[in-house]
Structures are given as C-alpha cells and as structure tokens.
A = this chain, B = another copy of it.
Amino acid sequence: MSDTKVVAVILAGGSGTRFWPLSRELSPKQMLSVFGKTSLICATIERARMVASEAAVEIVVGATLLDEIRNHLLAQAELADVALDYIVEPVARNTAPALALAAACIEAHDPEAVVMMLPSDQLIDSGESWKATMQAAIEAAATRDVLVTIGLVPTRPETGYGYIKAVEGAAGPGALPVDCFVEKPDLETAQRYVAAGNYYWNSGMLVARARVILAELEAVADNARIVEAARRIAALPAGERLKAASFQLFESLPKVSFDNAVLELSEHVEVVPTTMAWSDVGSLLALEDLTRPDEDGNRVIGGGVAVDSHGTLIYSPQRLVATLGVRDLLVVDTHDATLVVPRERAQDVRLVTDALAKREAPELREPKISARPWGTWTIAQEGAGFQVKEIVVTAGSRLSLQSHEHRSEHWVVVAGTATVTQGETEIEVKTGESVYNPIGMLHRLENRGPGELHIIEIQVGDYLGEDDITRYDDDFCRE
C-alpha cells in the first residue's frame, strides 16, 4: 500500500447559480472567500494535500471557466508551492464524462493510482477527523477494487441531500458496504433515515483507483462510449485536448451524473462514515453561519442596519442596506446587484438566475472585482466610450507586457510606486503621478514594492472588451 500513488482531483466545474449574487458564472461559489480566509477551492486544495501522496494537484474545470480559475489560483499565496495541472472539460456534460476524463488522464500514467475526487465548493474542517476519514477511504480503495464514497453521519433530517444506505458488517477498517443510494427524501423519510442509523449524507466525494473508476463505468453498457471518448482525449497532448475534434467528441456524450451512471448501479461501492464538520454550502442560508444573531435574531454582516426586523440576514460588505419591519428575510448585496429573498426560499435562487439568463443580464456573468494572478481589478465607472478601473498590484508582481488595438489608457498612481515599461523605456511613476499608454503602445505595469500598488486606469476607446489584449510576455504564461 505504501507505494500506491494517491492523486487529488479537484472538481471545479460548478456553475455558481445557487449563490447569486455573490457567485457569478465567471466567479462561481468555489471561488468565494466569504466562508474563511481563502476561497473554498483554495481550502479544498490545501486539505487534499494533507492526504495525497503526489505533489501535483489535478483541477477538473470547464473550458469557459479555465482562465478565471487559473487566475484565481495563481493569486493564492497559500498555493505558491503547489503544482496545479488542469484537466479541461471541452464542454460541460455533467459529472460522469468529467470524472471519466480525469480518471483516463491519470490512468494514462498509472492505472493503479488511487484518485480522490473532491468537489471544490464544500466547507470542511481540515483537522484530524478529515485525515482519518480520507485515510480510511484510501486504504479501502487501495485494498479492494471498489468505489469508496464518504458518508456524513446525519445530524438532522435534512431534505436537501441524497443519502447513502449502508449494509451491516464492515467491508474493511472504517468502511461499510453500500446497499443503495437514495435521492433527496421528504421530511418524514429523512426522519426515518436519521433514526435508522445506517443512512449517511452523500458528500459527493469519491476515492478509487483510476482503473476501477473506468472499469465500473464500462460495466454499464451505456457508459462505454463515455470511457472510450475520455481515453481518446486523455491520450492527446494537453495542447490538443481543446481542439474541435475533442470538443465534438465530448459534446456527443450524454449529460449524466456519475451517481446515476455508476454509483446507483454498481455492486462495488463502499462508504466511509464520518462525523467530521462538513457543509456543502448549498444555499445563501449558509451565510447565517458566519455570525451570531442579535437578540431579535438578525444577523448583519457589513454595512447593514436592521430596524424593527426579526430573523433577518443582511450581507452587504460594501454598501449600506437597511431593512425596516421585515421578518425572516435574506438580503444579499454586492457592488452591482442585490437579492431579497425569504429564508425559506433561499434554495430557489436558481429561479432568479434563470430570469436573468433570459434577459442576458451582465450581472449573471461577471463579478465586479476580478482576481488576477498579480492582484485585482474593479470597475469603478463605465460610460459611452470609456471605463474606469481601480487596479491593485501585489508587491513584487507585474502584469503582462501588452498592447491594445482599440483603447488608450491613462494610469494615475494613487498609492505606491509603479514601474512602467513603455516600448524600450522604463519609468518610475509615484503616487499622484500619471502615465499615458496610447493605442498600440507596448506597455507593462509592475510593482516592485514594498506595499500594494493602486492605480486608477481610465480606458478610452471605441471597443473596451477584455479580449482586446495582445500579450508579448507574461509571468503567468497566459496567451
């Protein structure tokens, strides 16, 4: 067992609709830092490294989200020494094709490797209980040709989760054979499950050898072409995997979850029960855990004021939100969008994002603050033919050497000192000073420290899209 490789695979494909307006299509839930010092995905990677034997961590992500996730993870100081590999889903096809692709990529190097498939958007305490649980799961997966799931001992009759029903009798140390999976139950059924004692919340984590994952998929006739497609794409060099042929191949696969396609049908599934602190952060109600209620049951995070209100959460880190005379309401506020919803409807935020999708609302897609490997940018003002951003560059970082075809940029330094490259020259621009990059000018912004550099950038031009950028050199290997 000691020579078995344990590879962490982080599933980062979440779409971020249940956490709107905090999450956006380009900044889904796993990228939120509201629940701790770092984002959920960053914490997941750190936690995975506690039990993985391989130094590199595999990130499974959709093509549309790749840049954002990559920029986000490059910006995390905690991950500075972590090698991150990206396994890119050419197009979203639910979890069965995604897991098949990840397993096929790992199988290509080592079919016997034990793979830990971990959702990137859960909140889990990374203490001893986490380590013990995952070590038991790895032990089971390394010892037997089985798919090992992680099941939470239920603490309440939750109707929002699926349950795993275990059979009596140990399959191995800390692991039980699984009888069946059951979908989200009604309250009465959930109460019966909790009382029965052999039902566990399905955490969505999976541990198994790469070879076993693919074999269990292939054992179901319908899935054979998923495995075949996954192996064909995995056999390509990484640079080839996103080309049209792979896209078409992947797009032809059925949209099916791994639970439906395999776990619910296989006879070779085990569960490691655990009591570790775990939350799937499934709805905006999870924000309530961030602070204690006052005597009226109100929770105020940020610039809120709850007057004559009861049981109400105001989450508004940047702006002022006031409630008067309301009860059991959630108000979640961001720079550009605010959501008002009763506590009991927090699960239904998808109805709002559906409505926003219909009207192609930009607030569905883009966050106002975008993380970059070198810092952040925030849109401060927009108008016809111009855009104003505040750019923050961390000490020691620099942006790519770049030029734009359609816009000129004025940079005014409002804190720190900028080192600006323009063509062949390099100049220092101090607080209160400015510099101008005409259309087509080769330029680069750098912060040699010691503190943060804050720039106000005024873009003027006939087209101001993020894609009007030609990069000539980049510390972060972006194109």
Which residues does A use to contact B, with CB under 8 Å?
21, 305, 307-308, 316, 319-326, 329, 331, 333, 336-342, 344-345, 348-349, 351-352, 355-356, 359, 361, 363, 378, 380-381, 383-386, 388, 390, 408, 410, 412, 414-415, 431-432, 434, 436, 454, 456, 458, 460-461
Contact = CB atoms under 8 A, between A and B. Distances in A.
Contact of A456 (B325, B359, B378, B381): B381
B319 A338 contact: yes
Contact of A431 (B321, B380, B454, B460): B460
Given A324-B340, A383-B415, A434 B456 contact: no
Nearest to A316: B338
A344 B308 CA distance: 13
Nearest to A329: B340
18 contacts: A21-B320, A305-B361, A319-B336, A320-B361, A321-B339, A322-B355, A324-B349, A331-B340, A333-B338, A340-B340, A381-B456, A383-B390, A385-B431, A386-B415, A412-B460, A432-B460, A434-B436, A434-B458
A316 B363 CA distance: 14
Contact of A322 (B325, B326, B337): B337
Given A322-B340, A380-B381, 19 more contacts: A307-B351, A307-B352, A316-B338, A320-B336, A321-B340, A323-B339, A323-B341, A324-B341, A325-B341, A325-B342, A326-B340, A331-B338, A331-B340, A383-B414, A385-B431, A408-B432, A412-B460, A414-B458, A456-B458
A380 B381 CA distance: 6
Contacts of A329: 326, 340
A408 B454 CA distance: 16
B386 A381 contact: no
Contacts of A386: 414-415, 454, 456
